[in-house]
């Protein structure tokens, strides 16, 4: 393999990896706080992409991306408020099954609204074309996606670790009852965290639409990888999710360049090795 090809593969891996990290951060926060693997996370990512396609016709690309974030975050809040909340006192398995059911419903809803056939979507004209990076030339839009998702992931990390709101979320992950006893409205924190986590997935879907195109099942295709990122990174550990996201993205992309049929399977092999070596995840505490 020559250097240009290798460089391209690594860059592709970083783009995908940043997306995985973004999905993983949202999932990890929801998992840490609400103790559920959100099965609907994938389909909400897909809805973000579809909302972008429709909304960008009226508001342009940037407006479309903001709309995707807002619509999916509201949808996430509604899911938490109308469904998940009713099951906190029941076994967490049922919350998972609820989100699985919602995932089926929303996937079919996408097909009903936007049709079953795949859609391609062009990046904004300003960002069309490629730049020469010396080693290899690379599409401008993908570089931008890498930078933007990277910045979002970093912002999430700083928000959770450095702000008062973040401290409340961390307190909730540590001990919900104690946080509630100290006068924190933990229910509202749950709703807002769910909304924020899913909203990020929606924005991720919107940003990836010009890179990967749109398909009603696109969310289900990416969901297992987001799960791998969370498992590999460690429960509630944001640096873990970020590290695992980049690792998974780069491994997948390099394997695609070396031996494409084994690319997806290699990610799960990586997870297996990770679990055997470190059952608590790369940077997990428990």
Partner 1 sequence: MLEGRRGAVVRVALLLAAIVVLPLVVRPVVASEIWIFSIAAMALNLIFGYTGMLSFGQATFFGLAAYTAGLLMIHWQAPLLVVLAAGTLVGALAAALIGYVCIQRVGVYFIMLTFGFNQMFYFIAYKWTSLTGGDDGLPGIPRPPLALGPLGIRLDTSVRYYVFVAAVFLLAFYAMKRVVDSPLGVIFQSIRENPGRAAAVGYDVKRYKWLAFTIAGGFTGLAGVLYSMMFGIVPLESISWIISGDIVFMVLIGGIGNLYGPLLGAAAFKWLSETVSIVWERWPLILGVALVLVVLFLRGGLVEAFARLREATAGRGAEA
- Residues at the site binding partner 1, with contacts judged by CB under 8 A: 31, 35-37, 83, 86-87, 90, 92-94, 96-98, 100-105, 107-109, 111-112, 220, 224, 227-228, 230-231, 235, 260-262, 264-265, 267-269, 271-272, 275-276, 279
Query: Smallest gap, in angstroms, from Cβ of residue 130 to partner 1?
Result: 29
Strand partners, 130: 139
Rounded Cα–Cα distance for residues 249 and 266 (Å): 11
**Residue 269 to residue 7: CA distance in whole angstroms:** 24
Q: CB 94 → partner 1: shortest distance, Å?
A: 5
Nearer to partner 1, 89 or 164 (CB): 89
Cβ 106 to partner 1 shortest distance, Å: 8
Which of residues 5 and 275 has its CB atom nearest to partner 1 in the complex? 275
Radius of gyration in angstroms for the set of CA atoms belonging to the chain, rounded to a whole number: 19
Quote the least distance from Cβ 45 to partner 1, whole Å. 16
| Cβ at position 65, least distance to partner 1 in Å | 28
Least spacing, CB of residue 278 vs partner 1, in Å:
11
Residue 133, number of CB atoms within 10 A of its CB: 13
Question: Which C-beta is closer to partner 1: that of 24 or that of 64?
Answer: 24
In the complex with partner 1, which residue's Cβ is closer, 60 or 82? 82
Q: Are 238 and 25 in contact (CB under 8 A)?
A: yes
Min separation Cβ 40 and partner 1, Å: 10
User: Do the Cβ atoms of 47 and 71 come closer than 8 Å?
Assistant: yes
Query: Nearer to partner 1 by C-beta: 45 or 138?
Result: 45
Which is closer to partner 1, CB of 126 or CB of 258? 258
Dihedrals φ, ψ of 122, to 5°?
A: -85, 140
The SS3 of residue 148 is helix
Q: Residue 29 and residue 235: Cα distance in Å, rounded? A: 9
- Cβ proximity to partner 1, 231 vs 250, nearer residue: 231
From residue 111, how far is each of 68, 139, 147, 215, 216 by CA, in Å?
Answer: 17, 30, 31, 9, 6
* CA distance linking residue 87 with residue 34, whole number of Å: 11
Distance of CA 249 to CAs 20, 93, 194, 212, Å? Answer: 7, 29, 24, 14
């Amino acid at each position: 393999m020559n250097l240009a090809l290798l460089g391209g593969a690594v860059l592709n891996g970083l783009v995908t990896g940043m997306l995985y990290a973004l999905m993983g951060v949202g999932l990890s926060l929801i998992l840490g706080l609400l103790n559920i693997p959100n099965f609907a996370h994938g389909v909400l990512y897909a809805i973000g992409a579809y909302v972008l396609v429709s909304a960008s016709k009226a508001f342009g690309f940037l407006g479309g991306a903001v709309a995707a974030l807002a619509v999916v975050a509201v949808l996430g809040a509604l899911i938490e408020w109308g469904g998940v909340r009713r099951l906190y006192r029941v076994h967490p398995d049922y919350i998972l099954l609820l989100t699985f059911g919602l995932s089926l419903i929303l996937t079919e809803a996408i097909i009903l609204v936007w049709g079953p056939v795949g859609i391609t979507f062009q990046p904004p004209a300003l960002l069309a074309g490629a730049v020469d990076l010396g080693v290899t030339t690379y599409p401008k839009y993908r570089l931008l996606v890498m930078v933007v998702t990277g910045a979002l992931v970093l912002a999430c990390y700083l928000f959770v670790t450095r702000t008062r709101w973040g401290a409340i979320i961390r307190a909730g992950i540590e001990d919900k009852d104690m946080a509630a006893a100290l006068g924190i409205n933990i229910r509202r924190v749950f709703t807002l965290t769910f909304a924020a986590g899913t909203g990020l997935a929606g924005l991720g879907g919107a940003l990836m639409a010009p890179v990967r195109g749109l398909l009603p099942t696109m969310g289900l295709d990416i969901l297992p990888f987001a799960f791998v990122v969370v498992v590999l990174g460690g429960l509630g550990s944001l640096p873990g999710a970020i590290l695992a996201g980049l690792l998974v993205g780069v491994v997948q992309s390099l394997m695609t360049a070396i031996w494409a049929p084994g690319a997806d399977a290699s990610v799960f092999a990586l997870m297996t090795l990770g679990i055997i070596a470190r059952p608590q995840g790369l940077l997990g505490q428990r």
